[in-house]
């Protein structure tokens, strides 16, 4: 699939590494190492590719700092990124190669008894671009290794359980990249704003969410939580588009306007959620989302970082390679 | 994402249709229609694109005909396709656009109360390329709308249930594209070959499988079953590669050789499975898989056909569009 640089993976890594070298310099060396020696691939740091224009690493510039004023965020900003959109799209394609390679290592790890996984949690108001992140960022890796789950209004069955029940059921198995489109955090967002529970009940959830995520992290899951923040003006444009175009009507719900009328309440709820549930085990990253290309680039970067942090080589053979070669030759 | 033609979707269909027109003629008109009028998009048949080199439609040439001799299949063949590999890859990229568009319609349909879904069942021996189909074909659509499930040796929990229990649990919800990597058909394949059940027990499964699939189809699911067939020589090469390359060791299992030593038994089992479980509701398509590009092109075509057969337009608005525009404007 020569047309899809972002989708090439370890399966054809010899080939794609060669291609990448042509357009992307440094990356190629890393991927070739992976083919010749187990666990050696990530030892030598790649020289920075020419297309990498992160002045400050995305993780550093976007990680939530308690007490920051969310209302002061420039939703059209591109924090940390010194390049333009074209630079960003180039880097994203290159990162897509690396992301797919890292995800395949994670999957291999899971298939050979490993216990690590990655969970990407996406939060954000309507039109903030959560779906676009799934399509364009998560879409760069093998769907075989992705467990995606969207959380809407709880079903009757879900309502009969604790609110974490459906969340636990959707956690990524070892080796998988889990993706939550909305999440357990709605328990301190819509539940709070729409007064679905008394204050004394939902206020307890902050501590519960943190305890839950600490437990998930301890079980081997790297948690990356992203809040996408769109400006009221940009949201208006995006909602208008959904009303304008018949192919987007299905994405529109009259309740979107109700939510829009409660933006100040949501702002307060998000502010407190960020302040109280951004932890060492499950940090929040707050991503300005008026520029879709930036939001997608940033999440690609965060996800790549998370997978790199696992430092996974290819699993060593748990069989006698020479003996198996002989067995195969004899068939 | 200009670099990834196969991943553009309705979301940017205006743009990608324009691009497609440059390289692919006919497709563009169809997609633009979809943007301007609900349900009109699929009414006018697109003029065949210049890259379409199917002499006989894939579905017609690959659909299993009871009694065909499976052992006579040319696994390196490219039945129905009059072009070469480059032609095939071009058409696959164009079909990827259409597939992503159709899948988004299906997803929209599911989100607005529709009950249709599609289930792709992949069977085939080790190295036949099931994983590559998931990565390269299913990978062309939005991961948000995909429910993928691989079926290996049943877990202890699964073993406590009827063999269809885990299958039912993994069926696609309305609006989803379900993908099974191996399936309920293993009950007449590995179970038969490895004598995990007495003959009188597994022979009953043919009728059970057909009854089950008829029920699934009646509930609104279009079932597309694909058996990928690789030649013994090609399988040997692919297994050798897995043994040669440390990044592929995790895909290798010494039992792969055991299976290879039972190829005649598997051939007989596949022959009978095809003859007895290819039904109107759930036909089998047998795809020669020595040439990966052909197998991927063929499955892309089969899947596109299945989605086209649903004839889904964009769901009409279930709200008053003008009133909502006024409400939005007032915010």
- Region A240-253: mean pLDDT is 96
Is the CB of A10 less than 8 angstroms away from the CB of B144? no
Is the CB of A144 less than 8 angstroms away from the CB of B131? yes
Statement: residue A37 has pLDDT above 90: no
Cβ(B330)–Cβ(A257) under 8 Å? no
Out of A134, A239, A250, closest to residue B143 by CB: A134
CA torsion angle for B247, B253, B254, B256 (degrees, to 10)?
A: -110
- Region A121-140: mean pLDDT is 97
Tell the burial category of A267 from Cβ atoms under 10 Å away from its Cβ (0-12, 13-18, 19+): middle
Beta bridge partners of A147: A178
- How far apart CA A107 and CA A198 sit, in angstroms, is 42
pLDDT digits (tens, 9 = 90+) for B109-160: 999 999 999 999 999 999 999 999 999 999 999 999 999 999 999 999 999 9
Is the CB of B108 less than 8 angstroms away from the CB of A132? no
CA torsion angle for A302, A305, A310, A312 (degrees, to 10)?
A: 120
Q: What is the DSSP string of B43-112?
A: TSPPPPPTT--BSS-HHHHHB--TT--GGG--TT--TTB-S-HHHHHHHHHHHHHHHHHHHHHHHHHHHT
Q: In the structure, what pLDDT confidence band is assigned to residue A138 with cuts at 50, 70 and 90?
A: very high
Chain B residue closest in CA terms to A138: B143
Out of B132, B181, B243, closest to residue A325 by CB: B243
Is the CB of B108 less than 8 angstroms away from the CB of A250? yes
pLDDT digits (tens, 9 = 90+) for B44-88: 555 555 478 999 999 999 999 999 999 999 999 999 999 999 999
- How far apart CA A96 and CA B10 sit, in angstroms, is 22
Q: What share of chain B in percent tops pLDDT 90?
A: 84
- Region B307-317: mean pLDDT is 96
pLDDT, residue A86, reads: 95
A49-84 burial string, b = 16+ CB within 10 Å, else e? Answer: bebbbbeeebbebbebeeeeebeebebeebbbbebe
pLDDT, residue B32, reads: 35
pLDDT digits (tens, 9 = 90+) for A80-120: 999 999 999 999 999 999 999 999 999 999 999 999 999 99
- Region A292-304: mean pLDDT is 98
Is the CB of A7 less than 8 angstroms away from the CB of B136? yes
pLDDT, residue B11, reads: 33
CA distance A67 to chain B (A): 29
Out of B6, B249, B315, closest to residue A4 by CB: B6
pLDDT, residue B7, reads: 34
Cβ(B21)–Cβ(B247) under 8 Å? no
Out of B34, B253, B331, closest to residue A257 by CB: B331
Q: How many CB atoms lie within 10 A of CB B318?
A: 12
End-to-end CA distance of chain A: 32
Test the A interface: residue of B2, B4, B232 with most A CBs within 10 Å? B4
pLDDT, residue A41, reads: 41
- Cα A290 to Cα A54, A259, B269, distances in angstroms: 19, 18, 56
Chain B hits for A242, CB-CB cut-off 8 Å, are none
CA distance A1 to chain B (A): 7
Out of A11, A138, A249, closest to residue B143 by CB: A138
- How far apart CA A226 and CA A283 sit, in angstroms, is 9
Lowest pLDDT segment from A21-30, B97-106, B167-176, B186-195: A21-30
Is the CB of A134 less than 8 angstroms away from the CB of B142? yes
In the structure encoding, which two tokens stand for residue A270, read together?
């998000």
Chain B residue closest in CA terms to A145: B148
CA distance A242 to chain B (A): 10
**H or E segment to which residue A122 belongs:** strand A117-124
Out of B4, B246, B315, closest to residue A4 by CB: B4
CA distance A64 to chain B (A): 27
- Write the secondary structure of A254-305 as one string of H (helix), E (strand) and C (coil): CHHHHHHHCHHHHHHHHHHHHHHHCCCCCCEEEEECCCHHHHHHHHHHHHHH
Q: What share of chain A in percent tops pLDDT 70?
A: 85
DSSP tag of B184: G
> What is the average pLDDT value for chain B, to the nearest integer?
88
Is the CB of B317 less than 8 angstroms away from the CB of A246? yes
CA distance B60 to chain A (A): 26
Is the CB of A148 less than 8 angstroms away from the CB of B143? yes
Lowest pLDDT segment from B32-41, B165-174, B301-310: B32-41
Chain B residue closest in CA terms to A322: B243
Angle value at C-alpha B298, between B296 and B302, nearest 5 degrees: 115
Statement: residue B249 has pLDDT above 50: yes
pLDDT, residue A12, reads: 31
pLDDT, residue B47, reads: 53
pLDDT, residue A68, reads: 97
- Region A271-277: mean pLDDT is 98
- How far apart CA B187 and CA B164 sit, in angstroms, is 10
- Region B285-310: mean pLDDT is 98
pLDDT digits (tens, 9 = 90+) for B197-238: 999 999 999 999 999 999 999 999 999 999 999 999 999 999
Test the B interface: residue of A95, A101, A246, A318 with most B CBs within 10 Å? A246
- How far apart CA A131 and CA A58 sit, in angstroms, is 21
pLDDT, residue A48, reads: 54
Chain B hits for A331, CB-CB cut-off 8 Å, are 236, 257, 260-261
pLDDT digits (tens, 9 = 90+) for A195-240: 999 999 999 999 999 999 999 999 999 999 999 999 999 999 999 9
- How far apart CA A296 and CA A153 sit, in angstroms, is 26
Statement: residue A174 has pLDDT above 50: yes
- How far apart CA B302 and CA B111 sit, in angstroms, is 24
Q: In the structure, what pLDDT confidence band is assigned to residue A31 with cuts at 50, 70 and 90?
A: very low
Is the CB of B324 less than 8 angstroms away from the CB of A150? no
Q: In the structure, what pLDDT confidence band is assigned to residue A39 with cuts at 50, 70 and 90?
A: very low
Contacts of B56 (CB under 8 A, 6+ apart): B79, B80
Question: Which has more confidence, A21 or B274?
Answer: B274
- How far apart CA B17 and CA B28 sit, in angstroms, is 5
pLDDT, residue B35, reads: 35
Tell the burial category of A159 from Cβ atoms under 10 Å away from its Cβ (0-12, 13-18, 19+): exposed
Statement: residue B37 has pLDDT above 60: no
pLDDT, residue A163, reads: 97
């Amino acid at each position: 699939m020569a047309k899809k640089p972002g989708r090439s993976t370890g399966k054809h890594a010899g080939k794609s590494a060669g291609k990448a070298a042509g357009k992307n310099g440094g990356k190629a060396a890393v991927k070739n190492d992976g083919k010749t020696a187990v666990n050696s691939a990530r030892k030598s740091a790649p020289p920075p590719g020419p297309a990498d224009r992160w002045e400050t690493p995305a993780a550093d510039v976007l990680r939530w700092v308690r007490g920051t004023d969310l209302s002061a965020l420039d939703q059209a900003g591109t924090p940390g990124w010194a390049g333009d959109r074209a630079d960003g799209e180039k880097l994203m394609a290159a990162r897509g190669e690396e992301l797919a390679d890292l995800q395949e290592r994670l999957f291999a790890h899971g298939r050979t008894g490993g216990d690590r996984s990655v969970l990407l949690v996406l939060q954000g108001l309507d039109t903030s671009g959560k779906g676009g992140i799934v399509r364009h960022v998560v879409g760069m890796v093998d769907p075989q290794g992705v467990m995606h789950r969207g959380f809407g209004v709880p079903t009757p069955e879900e309502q009969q359980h604790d609110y974490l029940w459906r969340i636990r059921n959707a956690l990524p198995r070892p080796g998988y990249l889990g993706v939550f489109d909305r999440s357990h955090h709605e328990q301190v967002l819509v539940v709070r704003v729409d007064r679905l529970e008394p204050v004394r009940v939902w206020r307890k959830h902050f501590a519960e969410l943190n305890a839950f995520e600490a437990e998930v992290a301890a079980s081997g899951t790297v948690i990356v939580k992203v809040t996408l923040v769109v400006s009221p003006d940009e949201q208006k444009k995006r909602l208008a588009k959904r009303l304008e175009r018949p192919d987007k009507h299905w994405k529109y719900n009259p309740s979107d306007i109700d939510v829009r009328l409660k933006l100040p309440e949501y702002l307060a709820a998000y502010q407190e959620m960020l302040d109280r549930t951004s932890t060492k085990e499950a940090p929040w990253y707050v991503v300005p989302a008026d520029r879709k290309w930036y939001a997608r680039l940033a999440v690609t970067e965060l996800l790549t970082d998370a997978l790199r942090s696992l430092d996974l080589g290819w699993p060593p053979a748990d069989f006698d390679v020479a003996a198996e070669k002989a067995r195969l030759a004899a068939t």
